[in-house]
Structure 1
Amino acid sequence: MQRYFITPEQFGEDSVVIGGEDARHIAKVMRGKPGDKLIVSDGVSREALAEITEIGPGEVTAAVVELLAMTHEPRVQITVAQSLPKGDKLETVIQKCTEIGAVAFVPFLSERTIVQYDERKEGKRLERWRKICKEAAEQAHRNIVPEVGQPRSWKQLLQSFGEYDAVYFCYEKEEGLQLRSAVAPWLNGPGADKAGRVMVVVGPEGGFSLEECAAAEAAGAVSVGLGRRILRCETAGMVACACILYESGEMGEA
């Protein structure tokens, strides 16, 4: 069943209103008609099974049939901080990590970032990243649309580490501590039954420098490896998210 995210203002007591591209998608692509059912979510606290009552120009109205429980989000809230990669690799990271369960994305610039960052053009790229994120969240039946933030400098990223319960710095030269071993004590420690905020930091194509690793550790991050193989920058975040959610029991019995 198709799922659509709307704003809380579009979510009434007995009905919902869907506009913009989503309304066009329902009318033109899905060839929706009155009586068809769909799922709508305000991405905050309400989700419902709804039945289309009217399809107008640029707007679809649907009656709320049943409020649904919002049970599709993991208790561990993972933010993926990804150094800006070349081409459309970040789009892949956002799409796939959204499907896996990440709740936020923080693009950033690091020493070996190859991309030439142009703030004037960044608005369009950010708009596209957020659109990809929303579509992936709908496809994966997420209860929320993960946040995609403005690109940050390396310094700004380091300063944000204190906002998280744990920060894992994925470093390809880390030969000691692996991510699973780092995550397990935190997940099984005091307050393990509560939701936690985790950041996973992934470098660009050329990886991180020794100086960046030292700076990240000084700022509170734990340097971890992701196995014996060297992963592409667009793969590392997906592996890290899957590992953390698996260890948290997210992929165990319901």
Structure 2
Amino acid sequence: MQRYFLDEMPEDHKITITGDDFHHISRVMRMEPGSHIYIVYPDGRTSICTITEIKESEVAAEVTEWVERSVELPTDIVISTGLVKGDKFDYIIQKGTELGAAGFVPFEASRSVVKWDRKKGVKKTERWQKIAKEAAEQSHRDRIPFVSEPVSLTQVIESGKDYDVLLFAYEETAKVGEMSPFYEAVSGLTEGKRLLIVTGPEGGFSEKEAEQLIKGGFTACALGPRILRAETAPLYVLSAVSFYLELKR
């Protein structure tokens, strides 16, 4: 069954779907009255709905049953990544959403090859959010991760006050073989806690940035003994957290 997210709570059990999702249902999937779909509400609840009518510009559906099982990670993991080249951030968003990320915060790092074009910023951020939405539908998530516009590293550090655990992936930590910080952080996560992990761009963090992060309360950590690419590190973090919190038990 296809999954669709509502932007607003309906006043009753009658669902109305418009816009891109209407087009997907009527033109791409060519569904008909009687077809079943998943509907996810803004509060994270999910229901199975039956399409009752397909009109010229909207689809009407009614709730058939509620889905009780949640597939969300028990902790919120937000990924803050230095701006990377090409479509690498698209890849991070897509795969990170599939792996359970709660949100993505790109930042302008001193070693980022890409420079943020603020004139095109709104459209690019909207595109990123659309990628997150489509990935959330595909992976049957109960929520769509947020994607922010790029911020400064200072803003990332300031946002740390809203999280329980603060980490940054630092290759210098991996080079000296110090593997315990990441394990200790993940093993200490419990339901409801929030983790913010900061990963660098292709060139990694400068010494000044590493000092800023440590001063701001972030712990430097290695993600295993190997040096990972900028687009691999966030996915390693999410996979490790999922294994420890969802499979290991």
Structures share fold, TM-score greater than 0.5? yes
Structure 1 residue ranges without an equivalent (≥5):
none
Note the aligned Cα RMSD (angstroms).
Answer: 1.6
Check 1:64–1:135 CA distance in 2 against 1; reply closer, same or farther (3 A cut): same
Residue correspondence of structure 1 range 2-151 to structure 2 within 5 A: 2-9=2-9, 11-151=10-150
Is the contact between residue 167 and residue 219 of structure 2 (CA under 8 Å) also seen in structure 1?
yes
Q: How far off its partner does 1:185 sit?
A: 3.8
Q: Partner residue of 1:224?
A: 221
* CA distance in structure 2 between the aligned counterparts of 1:80 and 1:151, rounded to whole angstroms: 12
Mapped partners of 1:188, 1:83: distance in 2: 26
Provide the residue aligned with 1:170 in structure 2.
169
Could you state the TM-score of these two structures normalised by the residue count of structure 2? 0.94
Q: Is contact 1:34–1:51 with CA below 8 Å preserved after alignment?
A: yes
1:235 aligned onto 2:232: yes
Q: Cα 1:234–1:137, aligned 2, differ >3 Å: closer, same or farther?
A: same
Asked whether the equivalents of residues 45 and 70 of structure 1 are also in contact (C-alpha less than 8 Å), the reply is: no
CA distance in 2, matches of 1:143, 1:112: 35
Asked if 2 retains the 8 angstrom alpha-carbon contact of 1:76 and 1:245, the reply is no
> Contact 2:182–2:222 (CA<8 Å) still a contact in 1?
no
User: 3-state SS of the aligned residue for 2:172?
Assistant: coil
Q: Is the 8 A contact 1:162 1:220 kept in 2?
A: no
The corresponding residue for 1:245 is 242
| Residue type of the alignment partner of 2:247 | M
Question: 1:188: Cα distance to partner?
Answer: 5.0
Separation in 2, partners of 1:57, 1:177: 61
Superposition map of 1:204-219 within 5 A: 204-219=201-216
Measured in 2, the distance between the counterparts of 1:152 and 1:36 equals 43
Unaligned stretches of 5+ residues in structure 2: none
State whether residues 204 and 233 of structure 1, in contact with CA within 8 Å, keep that contact through their aligned partners in structure 2: yes
Query: What does the per-residue CA deviation read over 1:178-237, in whole Å, with 9 as the maximum and x for residues that have no partner?
Result: 3xx334444555xx5431100111100111112211111110111011122221101110
Displacement after TM superposition at 1:176 (Å): 4.1
Q: How much identity, in percent, do the aligned residues show? A: 39
Q: What is the aligned residue count?
A: 247
In 2, Cα distance between the equivalents of 1:77 and 1:103?
A: 5
Normalising by the residue count of structure 1, what TM-score does the alignment of the two structures yield? Answer: 0.92
